[in-house]
């Protein structure tokens, strides 16, 4: 009888993982792994950003004009491409999954350097803008702490950070083993 319940439990766990991978797919995994490793990033965090930003749709375009998997703004893409020494940049390249991940992971890594490897600040800056986050901290409108996300002045940024953190846990659980 104990063996029966053990097997049922094991099957339930396996089905949950299977269902989880259907709801939380990880396309472009090799590209994410490659660029995340090259930039010292956690690939599951990158996957969580992509899931949150575009749900892995390489043709996604936001109301504000952000493009591709990681929803990179064309201006940010221009700046990043220049810093990376990429001579043939064009904003339409942001719809190419490999190029978008290349630029997006470079930008995430740059934010990690700027914000002393603090993931919460990095995620807030990725969505709300680096200058805004620095201003919120300087003006003491937000402490920068995970437990104080409600202090973030932009509702969209608050929700973005929460969603990415949730998706990050899911991706680590489903794919990190």
Integer Cα distance of 154 and 28 in angstroms: 30
Asked if 56 contacts 27 with a C-beta cutoff of 8 angstroms, the reply is yes
Q: Which two three-digit tokens encode residue 123? A: 């995620």
DSSP the chain: -HHHHHHHHHHHHHHHHHHHHHHS--TTHHHHHHHHHHHT--HHHHHHHHHHHHTT-TT-B-TT--BTTTTB-HHHHHHHHHHHT-TT--GGGGGSHHHHHHHHHHHHHHHHHHTTT-HHHHHHHHHH-HHHHHHHHHTTS----GGGGGG-S-HHHHHHHHHHHHHHHHHHHHH--
Instruction: Tell which residue, 115, 169, 119, 127, has the closest CA to residue 152.
Output: 127
The yes-or-no answer on residue 53 being catalytic is yes
- The active-site residue out of 30, 34, 53, 156 is 53
Looking at the annotation, which residues are catalytic?
53
């Amino acid at each position: 009888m104990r063996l029966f319940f053990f097997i049922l439990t094991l099957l339930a766990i396996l089905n949950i993982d299977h269902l989880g991978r259907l709801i939380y797919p990880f396309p472009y995994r090799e590209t994410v792994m490659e660029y995340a490793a090259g930039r010292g990033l956690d690939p599951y965090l990158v996957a969580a950003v992509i899931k949150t930003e575009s749900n892995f749709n390489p043709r996604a375009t936001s109301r504000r004009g952000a493009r591709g998997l990681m929803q990179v703004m064309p201006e940010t893409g221009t700046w990043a491409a220049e810093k990376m020494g990429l001579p043939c940049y064009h904003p339409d390249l942001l719809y190419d999954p490999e190029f978008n991940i290349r630029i997006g992971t470079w930008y995430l890594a740059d934010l990690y350097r700027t914000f002393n490897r603090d993931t919460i600040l990095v995620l807030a800056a990725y969505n709300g803008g680096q200058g805004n986050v620095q201003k919120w901290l300087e003006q003491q409108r937000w402490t920068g702490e995970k437990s104080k996300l409600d202090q973030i002045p932009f509702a969209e940024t608050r929700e973005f950070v929460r969603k990415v953190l949730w998706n990050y846990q899911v991706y680590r659980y489903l794919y990190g083993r």
